[in-house]
Structure 1
């Protein structure tokens, strides 16, 4: 057994984030305040959007976009089955019906032909998921949506730093939700951001983020002419981001380019090492995009092995290597089977990828030695189980 355990993920945090959080705590602002305002402004500038609204998760951001668009009972929202359950859950939460599409087996992103087949008169929104940091075919998706007056809300949980044909994700569709969860490229512990160029959507989201209050706490307590008085204009939610999290986010955004450079370096090392290994298929990357490299996902050619993907992962675990799988398809989960009639076999490309994929350790804090240890341990298992 190898000595050092290499975890699937480790955050890249230093004294700058720590000092920023301490500064926030010492200021007396623990909840939504000046740090959130600063983070929102910096993020909007970064992606080029008119509005950026900080929330406590990407899930909250997607939910708020659907609420702001007035989507509910009797409506349909299309997304992919190859995503985390939150993408579909928010559709259910607003009372709409989740409609799933299959994926392109090369990019793992939404299949455009299947998407077009699934659009009906009840379709009110499409939620593309930029899998692993590679953008979906947004030109085709936006064209289909505009022809039918359908909203497009991107799930960009993996896609900060991603560009599609030279344009930043976050400044392409009607609205975009980002994740700053502990494992993401930009980390605030928990957190997210919604970007949009639509003034009406932005105002609705802003109000719904904090209980439906007409003015947020920062405005009410910092303006010398402000008062205790507020009004609930809609039954909103508790989705606001605290200043402590935003303090981390500001520093993470400041060093995002540095972190992305390291991610690309590691991705290149993995690709070079595995591209000549016939039992491993390395990620496909389109030419006209900038990949955020949130995940490095390999596909096992299981037909060339004596064991399946799950057993392969068990052997890597025995070698002290942490891995993951992205994702268990939505249509495999009991809730969606029982309530929407999905069955195994409905989305063959999705199932093909699910049965073969492994996400390797992949984060800026990795040393070159750890990267090569990952490669060696994967190759060791392949040598043991090759047919």
Structure 2
């Protein structure tokens, strides 16, 4: 279908094409010098003494974080109800039990620190938070709670490269930060991710885990820095490749400007549809946080048939999406007692995501806003 305004567009140009061509000409495609540079520059971007290891995708990052923190059978991990299924999947795949915490309110869809505390049991080992839509969680309350209860903290920053809380980058508050560079993310390489930490021990463990538990890499042997290797623990193959690392370097250089463009589009949306009958906008501006504005979610009034809105927008050439369907409605999790989350359940029924990307214009916003008004009038 030909969209007038699609949900997301890459902000690629000749720089990405040249970066890929340079890798191909180099003859070295696996994890190499570009990966090392990407890790170094991403860690420096986050600051706070961060170390970074590039991996194959964001789900791999979550899996490595849980493995490195030795979370497994018998353990509980508190996760957000308002999230992509990868968080719950990763917890299940290490044999632990996910327990869902609710949104803070209908205005703030991030995890509620008070509900996190209510869900803690003597089996709870970790809290896994998500900075939903690129809006930072209430990190003061969450960090304090985890320290007080002796819990590990994992930050899922898939939505949030460039977001900050009280002047500090997200992904540097917890034990491990997990990042996704999937196609539609703020920093996009197609598939790819990063695990970050300020712990030397965790950094070393996650590097072992991402590459078969090996003590040296192919690049080390190619450069003559090593002849052979030891395997110090069972590991996986979650390595990134040089093409994606090269794309990541270009995208990282563009990130701040791209996020600033996203925030301007969010401001334009708020002007155009902020007072629209039948629509509520979450995440009002706050001075203590800077969002990466990954997506633009709205909350439809109770009783509005969301699918009808989606189809009306589609008829006018506007693509939309849902972030996210309720976890407990999926076949894999149907019937499981994941915890009561009434606000998140309601958000899952009524949330709709409108187009947002760096090169979007205010004219595009007007097209979307007009189509949304038309849909709401049509539906009544």
Q: What TM-score comes out, normalization by structure 1 length?
A: 0.94
Q: What is the aligned partner in structure 1 of residue 366 from structure 2?
A: 372
SS of aligned partner of 1:325: coil
Offset at 1:247? 0.4
Q: What is the aligned partner in structure 2 of residue 154 from structure 1?
A: 155
Deviates more, 1:2-11 or 1:370-379: 2-11
Q: Contact 2:3 / 2:319 at 8 angstroms: preserved in 1?
A: no
Structure 2 CA distance for aligned equivalents of residues 361 and 276 of structure 1: 19
Structure 2 CA distance for aligned equivalents of residues 90 and 225 of structure 1: 35
Q: Contact 1:72 / 1:95 at 8 angstroms: preserved in 2?
A: yes
Q: Please tell me whether residue 352 in structure 1 is matched to residue 349 in structure 2.
A: no
Q: What is the aligned partner in structure 2 of residue 341 from structure 1?
A: 337
Q: What is the aligned partner in structure 1 of residue 322 from structure 2?
A: 325
Structure 2 CA distance for aligned equivalents of residues 257 and 384 of structure 1: 39
Q: What is the aligned partner in structure 1 of residue 241 from structure 2?
A: 242
Structure 1 CA distance for aligned equivalents of residues 2 and 81 of structure 2: 38
Structure 1 CA distance for aligned equivalents of residues 179 and 330 of structure 2: 24
Q: Contact 2:58 / 2:192 at 8 angstroms: preserved in 1?
A: yes
1:61-72 aligned at under 5 Å gives the runs 61-72=61-72
Structure 1 CA distance for aligned equivalents of residues 115 and 178 of structure 2: 23
Structure 2 CA distance for aligned equivalents of residues 336 and 3 of structure 1: 35
Q: What is the aligned partner in structure 2 of residue 233 from structure 1?
A: 232
Structure 1 CA distance for aligned equivalents of residues 221 and 90 of structure 2: 30
Alpha-carbon deviations, 1:282-312, whole Å to 9, x = none? 2323331001100101111134xxx411221
Q: Contact 2:57 / 2:191 at 8 angstroms: preserved in 1?
A: yes
Structure 2 CA distance for aligned equivalents of residues 11 and 248 of structure 1: 12
Offset at 1:364? 1.0
Q: What is the aligned partner in structure 2 of residue 315 from structure 1?
A: 312
Offset at 1:342? 4.4
Q: Please tell me whether residue 203 in structure 1 is matched to residue 176 in structure 2.
A: no
Q: Contact 1:71 / 1:94 at 8 angstroms: preserved in 2?
A: yes
Q: Contact 2:268 / 2:362 at 8 angstroms: preserved in 1?
A: no
Q: What TM-score comes out, normalization by structure 2 length?
A: 0.96
Offset at 1:353? 1.0
Structure 1 CA distance for aligned equivalents of residues 94 and 283 of structure 2: 35
Structure 1 CA distance for aligned equivalents of residues 71 and 8 of structure 2: 36
Runs of 4 or more consecutive aligned structure 1 residues displaced over 6 Å after TM superposition: none
Alpha-carbon deviations, 1:62-119, whole Å to 9, x = none? 1101101111111111101111110011111111111111112211111111110111
Q: Contact 1:283 / 1:296 at 8 angstroms: preserved in 2?
A: no
The alpha-carbon distance between structure 1 residues 314 and 4, as it changes in their structure 2 partners (threshold 3 A), is closer
The alpha-carbon distance between structure 1 residues 4 and 89, as it changes in their structure 2 partners (threshold 3 A), is closer
Q: What is the aligned partner in structure 2 of residue 215 from structure 1?
A: 216
Q: Contact 2:54 / 2:192 at 8 angstroms: preserved in 1?
A: yes
Q: Contact 1:88 / 1:98 at 8 angstroms: preserved in 2?
A: yes
Q: What is the aligned partner in structure 1 of residue 195 from structure 2?
A: 194
Structure 2 CA distance for aligned equivalents of residues 334 and 16 of structure 1: 43
Cα-Cα RMSD: 1.5
Q: What is the aligned partner in structure 2 of residue 290 from structure 1?
A: 290
SS of aligned partner of 1:255: helix
Q: What is the aligned partner in structure 1 of residue 57 from structure 2?
A: 57
Alpha-carbon deviations, 1:296-350, whole Å to 9, x = none? 01111134xxx41122112111222111000112222222224x3348xx32101
Structure 1 CA distance for aligned equivalents of residues 3 and 221 of structure 2: 52
5+ residue gaps, structure 2, are none
1:38-49 aligned at under 5 Å gives the runs 38-48=37-47, 49=49
Structure 1 CA distance for aligned equivalents of residues 139 and 69 of structure 2: 20
Alpha-carbon deviations, 1:162-212, whole Å to 9, x = none? 111111112111110011000000001100111100111100000110111
SS of aligned partner of 1:23: helix
Structure 2 CA distance for aligned equivalents of residues 171 and 144 of structure 1: 16
Structure 1 CA distance for aligned equivalents of residues 299 and 51 of structure 2: 38
SS of aligned partner of 1:128: strand
Structure 2 CA distance for aligned equivalents of residues 103 and 369 of structure 1: 33
Structure 2 CA distance for aligned equivalents of residues 113 and 337 of structure 1: 26
Structure 1 CA distance for aligned equivalents of residues 114 and 226 of structure 2: 54
SS of aligned partner of 2:52: strand
Deviates more, 1:237-246 or 1:377-386: 377-386
SS of aligned partner of 2:88: helix
Structure 2 CA distance for aligned equivalents of residues 88 and 211 of structure 1: 24
Number of equivalenced pairs: 377
